[in-house]
Amino acid sequence: MKVLIADDDQLSRMITKAAVEQSGHECIVAADGDAAWQLFQEHAPQAVVTDLMMPGLDGLALCRAIRAAEDGSYTYLILVTSHGTRNDVLAGMEAGADDYVTKPLDPFSLHTRLLAAQRITSLHADLARYRLALAEQARTDPLTKLHNRLKLSEDLDQLHARCERYGRDYSLAMCDVDHFKSYNDIYGHQAGDAALEAIAGAIAHQARKGDGVYRFGGEEFLFVLPEQSLAEARLVVERARAAVGALGIVHSGDSSGVLSISAGLASYVEGHRVDSEQLLKEADLALYRAKAAGRNTVAVAE
């Protein structure tokens, strides 16, 4: 565990540092509150042992600053006080401290508190990982492993705001698997799920690193293509359409004999700065035009 010590008294720093290192922890030392705050931001220690009274930020102000800066992580704060009065202890806890020790420092007392710190910060780290995993799971389609509508809403809002602010372009492509209902009717839903997984993999493989591919719902997928004009986006979608055809998923209910996709394209470009909801509608309307034109094709929004 990485431990930051903040104390303006040299002897106290030496004693505390020796106790921390004897407990088997890495040590960072600051001689005042301002230096401690700087070191905290640079090194993100799991625990801080801070004197109550010192130049710059005092112990209470340092505790408050650390608590205000925490974002998903947790730092165990131990306040060191010369008096240990009830008012000092209460003020420290209200400022965000987890525990306190009194001067002169007893190495054994500090050791026991660092054991608690290690246990608590480890639990918080585990919880942060679980929260991150759950957040990712909530934004991932369980079948295709593509991002879902929730993630699309978040990403598209951010992209649109950025492009609106800086005058950048982006394109959307709504894709739909042709005659998928009849495929499920003929081959069953298990085969339909397997087909969707394969198609999702094929179209995602055609996206660039900065592009987004989402399962929009059912057999519909959406490309979000930053920094791409209509012509550039069409090349990506045509490659995706060809990749799906190359899978050769047999479908006796389709005139081509295999599963295919149709797509509708719309772009946020100079002269057409509409909101993202309108752009989605335009891509969807273009998709209907592709379907009406015989399917297995790409249509562009008017």
CA–CA separation, 200 vs 221, rounded Å?
A: 8
Give me the half-sphere count of Cα atoms (radius 13 Å) on the Cβ side of residue 173: 33
3: helix, strand or coil: strand
Region 118-129: mean pLDDT is 90
What value, to the nearest 5°, has the Cα angle with vertex 234 and ends 232 and 238?
125
Band of residue 143 on the pLDDT scale cut at 50, 70, 90: very high
Please tell me which residue in 164, 219, 282, 302 is annotated as part of the active site. 219
Residue 85 has pLDDT above 80, yes or no: no
Burial 20-38 (b: 16+ CB within 10 A, else e): beebebebbbbbbbbbbbe
Pull the structure tokens for residue 149.
Answer: 């509508």
Sketch out the chain's domains with CATH numbers. 2-137 (3.40.50.2300), 149-300 (3.30.70.270)
Residue 84 has pLDDT above 70, yes or no: no
Nearest to 25 by CA among 120, 123, 124, 118: 118
CB 234 within 8 A of CB 214: no
Residue 6: per-residue pLDDT: 96
Region 41-52: mean pLDDT is 95
CB 243 within 8 A of CB 151: no
User: How many residues belong to the chain?
Assistant: 302
What percentage of the chain exceeds 90 in pLDDT? 82
SS (H, E, C) 158-171: HHHHHHHHHCCCEE
Residue 292: per-residue pLDDT: 94
Burial 185-214 (b: 16+ CB within 10 A, else e): eebeeeebeebbeebbebbbebbeeebbbb
pLDDT digits (tens, 9 = 90+) for 128-138: 888 888 888 89
**Residue 219 annotated as catalytic:** yes
Residue 104 has pLDDT above 90, yes or no: no
Q: What pairs with residue 27 in β-bridges?
A: 3
Q: Is 41 exposed, middle or buried (0-12, 13-18, 19+ CB in 10 A)?
A: exposed
Residue 50: per-residue pLDDT: 95
Mean pLDDT of the chain: 93
| DSSP designation for 222 | E
Residue 24: per-residue pLDDT: 93
pTM of the full structure: 0.69
Q: How many angstroms separate the Cα of 130 from the Cα of each of 44, 230, 288, 296?
A: 20, 40, 41, 42
Helices and strands in the chain: count of H runs, count of E runs? 10, 10
Nearest to 160 by CA among 233, 232, 229, 224: 224
Residue 72: per-residue pLDDT: 77
pLDDT digits (tens, 9 = 90+) for 172-207: 999 999 999 999 999 999 999 999 999 999 999 999
Pull the structure tokens for residue 5.
Answer: 């010590």
Region 74-88: mean pLDDT is 86
pLDDT digits (tens, 9 = 90+) for 12-36: 999 999 999 999 999 999 999 999 9
pLDDT digits (tens, 9 = 90+) for 229-262: 889 999 999 999 999 999 999 999 888 899 999 9
